Amino acid sequence: MARKPQKKRPQYYDSQLQPSSQLQAFGAVPISGHTVALVFRLSRPRTWTFPAASFLLGYVLTAGWNITQLGIGLIIASFVTAATNIVNAYADRKEDVVNQPRRVFWLDQMGQKATIGAVIVFYGFSAALSIYLGLAYMIVLAFGIFNSAFYSLPPLRFKAHPLSSLISFSGAVGLAFLAGTSVTGHVNLLNPVLWLVTYFMFTYGTVKNLPDYSGDKKAGTKTTATVFGNIRRAVKFTTIILISPYVFLVGLIITGFLPAIYYAELILTPLLIFILHNMWTARSSEGFEKMHTYGFFYAISFLLFTLVVSSPSLKSLGVVVSAFLWTLLVSRIHIDSRIESRDWEHNSNPQQGSA
């Protein structure tokens, strides 16, 4: 009998990380430049800015500007986020076959042992460094690592349900803020700035689900987008959710929880309108991915501007400039494992749905 010709598996190439030719070398060398590059890419360094900025905000509001403690806290916030992203990529292979197939390819290049090893190193190094920041900080970090791992991993897999997904996602900012305040030995859950930035991140979590609507739908994954019958209804819901932090902000000021200077945060509303415009005019996953990139910079701007309003100083401005330079750098050289171009979808039909 004639053998059926086997279907060729698609390969997803990258200008910086070439496929097959490096796989053999990786097997012979436990740690190589290629492996480090893959770990760095899968750790999504641009997302480190969220918890880093939130830790900085919580720390500055309670402890001032101790450079050593700040440096240690920022490293831990970045490393825990790096581990979170690698765990998420590993756990989401099914969805990423459609949403981000290149990420699946890079995971295959790394191999399971190297992937698990990288996660252990990030978590382990963070736990070791936390000793220098005190017991209260270590307790908050333990909750952070728990939330980080089980955001994606079974049996809890918080992201499997829309509400628990948003709560866990907002924990990346909320717990980082608490970690910043805990360095003094106390954890203050009643800080209104904590409520504001955590709720903002809770709402922003709805944005990242829009570009993945098609893949999540095919995989049977429930998100704040796929619970709706079509993408347009998901966009309507996300629009309402994204406006609500400003209503919450005004409510905090009117009731006296925040001083009137926080009205300055309203200066970011034109950016929100720009994001909403891009959201409503997007007609494909690639269009929603570009909107998500704009949304990323908007969310970073909100956290950093909150820092400036809370602690107006040249140091705060320096932090803002440094954070944007870092984010622009890693975005410019295209080392984030979330691909914006989605060129594998160019032959597919745009996502459309009735209003």
Tokens standing for residue 138: 């270590």
Is residue 176 within 8 Å of residue 49, measured between CB atoms? Answer: no
Per-residue pLDDT of the chain (355 residues; tens, 9 = 90+): 455 444 444 443 344 444 433 433 333 334 566 788 889 889 999 899 999 999 999 999 998 889 999 999 999 999 999 999 999 999 988 888 877 888 888 888 888 899 999 999 999 999 999 999 999 999 999 999 999 999 999 999 999 999 999 999 999 999 999 999 999 888 889 999 999 999 999 999 999 899 989 888 887 888 999 999 999 999 999 999 999 999 999 999 999 999 999 999 999 999 999 999 999 999 888 889 889 989 999 999 999 999 999 999 999 999 999 999 998 888 777 676 565 554 434 444 444 433 3
For 188, counting Cβ atoms within 10 Å of its Cβ (0-12 exposed, 13-18 middle, 19+ buried), the class is middle
Look up residue 338 and give its DSSP letter.
S
Cis peptide before 155 (omega within 30 of 0): yes
State residue 221's pLDDT score: 83
Q: For tokens 């986020």, name the residue.
A: 81
State residue 218's pLDDT score: 82
Query: Whole-prediction pTM value?
Result: 0.84
State residue 330's pLDDT score: 84
Handedness of CA 213, 217, 222, 227 (dihedral sign): positive
Euclidean distance between CA atoms 315 and 32, whole angstroms:
38
Euclidean distance between CA atoms 341 and 355, whole angstroms:
26
Q: Residue 249, CB half-sphere, CA atoms under 13 Å: how many? A: 20
Helix, coil or strand: residue 183: coil
Q: Residue 73, CB half-sphere, CA atoms under 13 Å: how many? A: 32
Of the candidates 209, 158, 226, 166, the residue with the CA atom closest to the CA atom of residue 338: 209
Is residue 116 within 8 Å of residue 124, measured between CB atoms? Answer: no
Is residue 242 within 8 Å of residue 205, measured between CB atoms? Answer: no
- Cα 328–Cα 330–Cα 335 angle in degrees, nearest 5: 145
Euclidean distance between CA atoms 162 and 224, whole angstroms:
5
* Nearby residues of 203 by Cβ (< 8 Å), 6 or more positions away: 166, 241, 242, 244, 245
Tokens standing for residue 17: 């990380």
Is residue 224 within 8 Å of residue 341, measured between CB atoms? Answer: no
Q: How many CB atoms are located within 10 Å of the residue 20 CB?
A: 8
CA torsion angle 299 304 309 315 (round to 10)? -170
* Nearby residues of 172 by Cβ (< 8 Å), 6 or more positions away: 50, 51, 54, 81, 84, 147, 148, 201
State residue 26's pLDDT score: 35
State residue 24's pLDDT score: 38
Of the candidates 289, 296, 274, 270, the residue with the CA atom closest to the CA atom of residue 231: 289
* Nearby residues of 115 by Cβ (< 8 Å), 6 or more positions away: 42, 86, 90, 107
Euclidean distance between CA atoms 303 and 271, whole angstroms:
14
